[in-house]
C-alpha cells in the first residue's frame, strides 16, 4: 500500500542574509525539519516527522504574519509606554449577589463578554490568579529533593503568594500521574530518593470564606489545575487519540484523560487518581455547606494542560452531581474532546468561558490542520466523532492591542498565563485598544518570559527564588536547603498514618 507523503508549498520572501532563493529554500526546509544538504542542489529527504514539520510550519506562518522577529519593539504609532507606579494593582471589589447569576448561572456568557462587563473582568482575573498560583508555588527545580511538589503546605499557600485578598482557603491538594509516556508534563528530581518519582502536584481545591460568599451570593468551591512548566513541549507527546468515556459517542484525548484518571497502589501519592481526589473533596464540601442550607457552586479553572483537565473535571462533576451549578474558566487550553463531548457538556448546563490569545498556538491543538476546515462542513458531513472541537464561549484577546508587549513571534510569551491576565485586565471590547485605567501590574507579564518591551526595563523571567534556591550554611558553603517540616509533602489521611502536612 502506497503511503501518502506530505506536500508543502511555501511562498516566503528571501530572508535577510540569503544571497539566493536557493539558500532561502534551504533555510526554510531546515526550520521545517526536512533534511537537506546545503552543499548540493538535491531533493530533500522525504523521511520526516510530520508533527514536527507541522509544528515548525506554525512557527514560520506566525513569524511571517506578526513581524520579523521576537525582539521587535512596539511600533512608533503605539502610545508612549507609561506605567503609573502610584495606583492599586487591582480593581475594587463589588458586592454582586444579584449580578452573580450573570457569572455563575446557567445562561450564556455572550452578552457579558464583548464589551466585557467590569465585574466579569475582575472575576475572570481572580480565577486566573488561582490558576497562576499553581505555577508560582510549583517546585520544578530538578536538583531539589522535592521537585514536582508544591513548595508550601496548603494552609500557607495563599499567604505566601499574596492571594489572601480573594477570600478563599485551600482545603485539599491534588496529585496526578499518568499510565502513558508523557514526559513533557512530568517534573522529576535527579535525586534517587526524592519525595516521589511518579506523581506531581497538580492543583488544589479551595472554598470561599463567609465574607467572600456573601459578596458573590453563594459558597464557591474552586478547583485550580496546573498546566505544564514547558507547555510547548508536550504537543509532541500527545497521543492524538480519542478515547471513549461513559456512554454514547463522547470521546476525549487519551493523554489528558490518563493524567486525570491514572492511579497505582504502589505509589505514595496516587493510590487514588486525581479524579477521585478532587471529586471526593468536592462532595465533602458540598455536603458540609448544603447541610447548613447554603447555596453552593463549583468553579473550575486552569491554564494550558490545566484547562484541559478542568473540562474533564467539569464533565465528571456534572455527570455525578447534576444539581450543582458548574462553571469552567480556562486560559490557553487545547481542544479536549469531540463534538459529542462538547454537546454533552452543554446538555448538562456546564458554563464554559474559554479565554484565548490570537497569537497562542496551543488552543489550536490537537487538530490544527483539519479541525477548523472540516467543522465548516458539519451540516454536510454530519458529526465527525474523530474530530476535536472546543467547548463554550470564547473571549479572544490580541497581544497587539497592548503597547507594553513586544511585537513579533514569541510563542512562550503568547502562551504565558500572566500575558493572558494582563490582556484580560486591559480588555474593554474587540473594537477598542487596551483600556487606560487597567490596574494589574504590567511587570508580572515577564515573570516567566520576555514579552514586555525593553523600555519598561523589566528583566526577563525575573520570578525565581533568591540565589535559585541555594542558601549558605554556617560554614559558608552554598547548598540546597532542607524544607521546613510543615512544607514537606505527605500523603493524605486515607493513604498513610504519617503526619498530614501538605495534602
Is residue 415 flagged as an active site residue? yes
Place of cell 507541522: 54
Q: pLDDT by residue (tens digit) across 151-173?
A: 999 999 999 999 999 999 999 99
Q: pLDDT by residue (tens digit) across 92-148?
A: 666 665 455 445 554 567 778 999 988 899 999 999 999 999 999 999 999 999 999
Rounded to an integer, what distance in angstroms lies between the CA atom of residue 105 and that of residue 173? 27
Place of cell 503597547: 403
pLDDT of residue 331: 98
Candidate list 189, 415, 425, 428, residue with the active-site label? 415
CB burial string 296-333: b at 16+ within 10 A, e below? bbbbbbbbbbbbbbbbbbbbbbbbebeebbbbbbbbbb
Q: Where are the domains of the chain?
A: 100-487
Is residue 82 flagged as an active site residue? no
Is residue 360 flagged as an active site residue? yes
Grid cell at residue 22: 536557493
Q: Using 50, 70 and 90 to split pLDDT, how confident is the model at 81?
A: low
**Bridge partners, residue 205, by sequence:** 172, 223
Rounded to an integer, what distance in angstroms lies between the CA atom of residue 450 and that of residue 448? 7
Candidate list 360, 390, 416, 490, residue with the active-site label? 360
Candidate list 144, 149, 304, 330, residue with the active-site label? 304
Could you give the 3-state DSSP secondary structure of residue 311?
Answer: helix
pLDDT for residue 70 is more than 90: no
Tell me how far the alpha carbon of residue 83 is from its chain's centroid: 27
Q: Using 50, 70 and 90 to split pLDDT, how confident is the model at 180?
A: confident
Could you give the 3-state DSSP secondary structure of residue 77?
Answer: coil
| pTM for the whole structure | 0.79
> What's 100-487's CATH class?
alpha beta
Give the number of C-alpha atoms closer than 13 A to the C-alpha of residue 247, restricted to the C-beta side.
1
Q: pLDDT by residue (tens digit) across 298-314?
A: 999 999 999 999 999 99
Long-range contacts: 150-158, Cβ < 8 Å, 24+?
Answer: 150/201, 150/489, 150/502, 151/483, 151/487, 152/487, 152/502, 153/486, 153/487, 153/501, 153/502, 154/204, 154/502, 154/503, 156/486, 156/487, 157/133, 157/204, 158/133, 158/206
**Bridge partners, residue 297, by sequence:** 220
Amino acid at each position: 500500500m502506497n503511503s501518502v507523503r506530505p506536500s508543502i508549498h511555501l511562498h516566503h520572501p528571501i530572508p535577510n542574509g540569503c544571497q539566493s532563493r536557493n539558500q532561502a529554500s534551504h533555510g526554510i526546509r531546515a526550520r521545517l525539519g526536512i533534511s537537506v544538504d546545503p552543499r548540493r542542489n538535491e531533493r530533500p529527504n522525504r523521511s520526516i516527522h510530520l508533527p514536527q514539520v507541522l509544528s515548525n510550519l506554525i512557527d514560520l506562518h506566525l513569524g511571517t504574519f506578526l513581524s520579523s522577529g521576537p525582539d521587535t519593539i512596539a511600533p512608533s504609532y503605539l502610545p508612549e509606554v507609561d506605567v503609573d507606579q502610584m495606583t492599586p494593582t487591582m480593581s475594587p471589589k463589588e458586592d454582586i449577589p444579584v449580578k452573580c447569576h450573570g457569572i455563575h448561572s446557567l445562561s450564556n456568557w455572550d452578552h457579558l463578554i464583548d464589551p466585557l462587563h467590569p465585574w466579569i473582568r475582575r472575576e475572570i482575573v481572580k480565577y486566573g490568579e488561582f490558576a497562576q498560583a499553581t505555577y508560582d508555588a510549583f517546585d520544578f527545580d530538578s536538583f531539589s529533593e522535592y521537585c514536582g511538589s508544591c513548595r508550601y503546605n496548603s494552609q500557607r499557600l495563599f499567604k505566601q503568594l499574596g492571594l489572601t485578598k480573594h477570600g478563599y482557603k485551600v482545603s485539599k491538594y491534588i496529585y496526578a500521574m499518568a499510565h502513558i509516556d508523557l514526559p513533557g508534563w512530568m517534573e522529576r528530581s535527579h535525586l534517587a530518593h526524592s519525595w516521589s518519582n511518579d506523581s506531581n502536584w497538580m492543583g488544589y481545591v479551595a472554598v470561599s470564606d463567609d465574607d467572600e460568599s456573601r459578596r458573590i451570593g453563594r459558597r464557591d468551591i474552586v478547583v485550580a489545575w496546573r498546566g505544564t512548566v514547558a507547555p510547548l513541549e508536550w504537543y509532541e507527546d500527545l497521543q492524538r487519540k480519542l478515547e471513549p468515556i461513559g456512554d454514547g459517542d463522547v470521546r476525549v484525548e487519551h493523554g489528558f484523560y490518563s493524567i486525570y484518571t491514572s492511579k497505582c497502589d504502589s505509589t505514595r501519592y496516587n493510590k487514588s487518581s486525581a479524579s477521585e481526589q478532587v471529586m471526593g473533596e468536592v462532595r465533602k464540601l458540598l455536603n458540609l455547606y448544603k447541610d447548613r442550607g447554603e447555596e453552593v457552586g463549583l468553579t473550575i479553572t486552569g491554564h494550558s494542560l490545566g484547562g484541559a483537565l478542568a473540562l474533564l473535571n467539569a464533565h465528571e462533576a456534572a455527570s455525578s452531581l447534576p444539581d450543582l451549578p458548574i462553571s469552567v474558566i480556562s486560559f490557553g487550553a487545547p481542544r479536549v474532546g469531540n463534538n459529542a463531548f462538547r454537546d454533552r457538556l452543554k446538555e448538562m448546563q456546564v458554563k464554559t468561558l474559554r479565554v484565548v490569545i490570537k497569537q497562542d498556538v496551543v488552543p489550536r491543538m490537537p487538530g490544527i490542520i483539519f479541525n477548523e476546515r472540516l467543522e465548516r462542513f458539519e451540516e454536510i458531513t454530519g458529526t465527525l466523532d474523530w474530530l476535536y472541537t472546543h467547548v463554550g464561549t470564547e473571549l479572544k484577546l490580541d497581544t497587539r492591542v497592548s503597547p507594553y508587549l513586544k511585537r513579533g513571534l514569541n510563542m512562550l510569551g503568547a502562551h504565558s498565563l500572566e500575558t493572558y491576565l494582563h490582556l484580560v485586565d486591559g480588555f474593554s471590547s474587540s473594537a477598542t485598544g487596551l483600556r487606560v485605567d487597567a490596574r494589574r501590574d504590567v511587570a508580572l507579564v515577564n515573570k516567566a518570559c520576555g514579552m514586555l518591551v525593553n523600555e519598561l526595563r523589566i528583566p526577563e523571567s525575573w520570578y525565581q527564588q533568591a540565589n535559585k534556591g541555594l542558601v549558605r550554611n554556617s560554614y559558608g558553603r552554598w547548598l540546597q536547603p532542607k524544607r521546613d517540616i510543615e512544607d514537606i509533602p505527605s500523603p493524605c489521611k486515607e493513604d498513610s498514618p504519617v503526619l498530614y502536612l501538605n495534602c
